[in-house]
Amino acid sequence: MAEEIINMPNYKQLCLDVLNSDEHIRFVGFVNNKSEILHSAQRNNVDSLLSDQEIKMSVHYTLERWRKAQNFTFRLGKERLTLTEYDIVTLVTIPFKGELLLVSTEPQSHYDSIIEKINSILANWEKI
**Residue-range domains of the chain with CATH:** 2-126 (3.30.450.30)
Res 108: pLDDT:
83
**What pLDDT score does 121 carry?**
96
Beta strands 82-85 and 90-96, pairing class: antiparallel
Q: What is the pLDDT of residue 10?
A: 92
Mean pLDDT: which of 32-36, 56-60, 106-110, 118-122 is highest?
118-122
Residue 40 DSSP SS3: strand
Q: Which contacts (CB < 8 Å, 24+ apart) does range 38-42 have?
A: 38/11, 38/99, 39/11, 39/12, 39/14, 39/15, 40/15, 40/102, 41/12, 41/15, 41/16
Reported as a single tens digit per residue, the pLDDT across 6-51 is: 567 899 999 999 999 999 999 999 999 999 999 999 999 888 899 9
Instruction: Give percent of the chain with pLDDT exceeding 90.
Output: 69
pLDDT-based confidence at residue 126 (cuts at 50, 70, 90): confident
